[in-house]
Structure 1
């Protein structure tokens, strides 16, 4: 009997947690273990797994609910599968029922929980309806996990490649950190679902998997990613992805899968409210462990802390942080104080200052000579990273400044003009985002003040109103 393909969930610490609001609308809250899988799942299988989890999510903590149901037609439409060939859907369900997931989680006291389960405990189709179930322990992990990633269905339906969707799934939870940190190349092969023996040479993996996946994520999703490589003896051994918001992309709230989800929600198959994936992303601090948080106290950004802690061994980072603390204290009140603590800390870890402290002068001299050569490269790399960070920050600030200016301009308008502009924005809501418009009408009927309306309504209404006001200013 053939064995099921094996998947693995990365070891998580209870200190590395991000507990977030409950999922609703087209936004899927996904346990990091359900995202970080080892195994070859097709694009359709990945999409179906997300839709099944979204459908079941609200009932996962209820011990009286063992099975979940979804119409095969709804499953196909929300997954973006435009065919009536239910045999392909059954093949995808069979693959998920044969995929093994393991998890290894440490709590705050250091107690370990190891577990194994198939992704689906069972799946049965009859009369156009799919009944499916998760194993009891996996249900609890999926509903109340240590870390969540969020997969937005309006983004998912844009992807045409399983590698691209897998890359998005493994990057999107780091959107508020700005970096995935360094992860070994072998681990990335597993996370992206590359089969053993495929693309053994990096140049082919890069050409056929990584580059196309990055291009697809940047073109179709709400984030942009940039890949960096770590080499040892000219061989690529690890990758990290820098992440920033894709402010140029306006998500299509009315795509076919989103419309199908909205129709399903109308009959109780999906939650009603579509949240903003940017607002509900895990906070950066929730994804950092104790060592990374300690790095932040030395003035490093959260992305820099994650990068350094995954590039170098924990004992090397720790001993150099101790070394930096001693140096700060030793130089305090002298003519050579440690002024740029963050830069000094990065250099200390990269050059391993702690390893050379207390060594004979001749050895120190030789190491310092090598360090100076490395320092030039380090400075250049740091400058490039700082330039990229400043550019990203400037881009965010320009967008925020534009929104503030337009809001102030709106507030300065006479009440009659404000009402007219709001009416035009509401008309656009009705034409372009009817579900959001329906929520808006519900809020009005309930007598809710604009500032107290649900986030999806308020953010969309104000965005449309700013666009209209900007158009008026451009014409004037």
Structure 2
């Protein structure tokens, strides 16, 4: 019996460890993110910067995230690819004010728990000071029992231009290790919630597809070591559900994705937005015609 308990603990999410340096956009890093914090519905949708900062707060606290303690992180570590600290305060306020709906299991039954993502925080007023923050105890309880997680590659996380792409990326990384599963179906409302589409926005499926799904799929297919795609499922003429598919790339496809990640941010952004314009070829008309 003790061996069974020990084996069970090995597969708990909090027993997993990240890799590299997740705070450095130019170097490889991995963040372990509990599945309960991936498949959430944010009642107040967060921005792309908010989600990145929250992932870094999780990574910083990870070794003791299961304890009700105060965590500390240098403010400079949360800047990511942004030059200043000005975004941090607004992101913290949104994270502290965001209530997420998390699906949990108790006694063999499924429940929805409404929980705050981030507890109180103290920010040093010095430019190079520290941020002290807490993970809410109700959330800690969920994390202690978590057995499903995503491994987020931070180099990829920093490259996304759309928050929908980051949301979808986290959803795939949570599922990609599941054996014999490369597809999952969602209702339109479920998908809107998981991708954190603001209420009242992109209500028509045509708009949701154009400005959310296609944008996210294009970024992921260019930056990630796997492909994703959506297939609409209709009831009559109306799209009722959507099937999400994912499958790994070939070795050359993975190399192409890594090469794009390694590009200068200006070049990478241009390619993500539809291609980098070719530079005009300059002809030296002072040279003989045969050498032109």
> What interval of TM-score do these two structures reach, taking the shorter chain for normalisation?
0.7 to 0.9
Aligned-pair CA distance for 1:52: 0.6
Residues in 1 aligned to 2:101 and 2:207: alpha-carbon distance in whole angstroms: 30
Residues in 1 aligned to 2:120 and 2:87: alpha-carbon distance in whole angstroms: 17
1:35 aligns to what?
38
1:23 aligns to what?
17
Aligned-pair CA distance for 1:100: 0.6
- Provide the secondary structure at the position in 2 that maps to 1:149: strand
- Provide the secondary structure at the position in 1 that maps to 2:203: coil
CA contact (8 A) 2:233 2:241 kept: yes
Long gaps (5+) in structure 2: 1-10, 20-28, 264-292
Larger relative contact order (CA 8 Å, sep ≥ 6): 2
Structure 1 residues 162, 104: closer, same or farther in 2, change over 3 A? closer
- Provide the secondary structure at the position in 2 that maps to 1:27: strand
- Provide the secondary structure at the position in 2 that maps to 1:249: helix
Residues in 2 aligned to 1:220 and 1:143: alpha-carbon distance in whole angstroms: 32
Long gaps (5+) in structure 1: 1-17, 257-476
Deviations 1:145-177 (A, max 9, x none): 132122221221121110111111112222134
Residues in 2 aligned to 1:229 and 1:137: alpha-carbon distance in whole angstroms: 37
- Greater percentage in strand: 2
- Number of residues of Structure 1 aligned to a counterpart in Structure 2: 232
Structure 1 residues 122, 255: closer, same or farther in 2, change over 3 A? farther
CA contact (8 A) 1:171 1:180 kept: no
Larger radius of gyration: 1
Q: So what's the TM-score if we normalise by structure 1?
A: 0.46
Residues in 2 aligned to 1:101 and 1:152: alpha-carbon distance in whole angstroms: 23
Residues in 1 aligned to 2:110 and 2:192: alpha-carbon distance in whole angstroms: 26
Aligned-pair CA distance for 1:202: 1.0
Aligned-pair CA distance for 1:112: 5.8
CA contact (8 A) 2:67 2:140 kept: no
- Provide the secondary structure at the position in 1 that maps to 2:104: strand
Find 2:184's aligned residue among 177, 181, 190. Answer: 181
- Greater percentage in helix: 1
1:53 matched to 2:58? The reply is: yes
Structure 1 residues 228, 139: closer, same or farther in 2, change over 3 A? same
2:131 aligns to what?
130
Residues in 2 aligned to 1:28 and 1:238: alpha-carbon distance in whole angstroms: 31
Residues in 1 aligned to 2:254 and 2:134: alpha-carbon distance in whole angstroms: 36
RMSD between aligned residues? 2.4
1:236 matched to 2:239? The reply is: yes
- Provide the secondary structure at the position in 1 that maps to 2:79: helix
Q: So what's the TM-score if we normalise by structure 2?
A: 0.73
Residues in 2 aligned to 1:190 and 1:201: alpha-carbon distance in whole angstroms: 15
- Provide the secondary structure at the position in 1 that maps to 2:222: helix
- Provide the secondary structure at the position in 2 that maps to 1:182: strand
- Provide the secondary structure at the position in 1 that maps to 2:36: helix
CA contact (8 A) 2:96 2:116 kept: yes
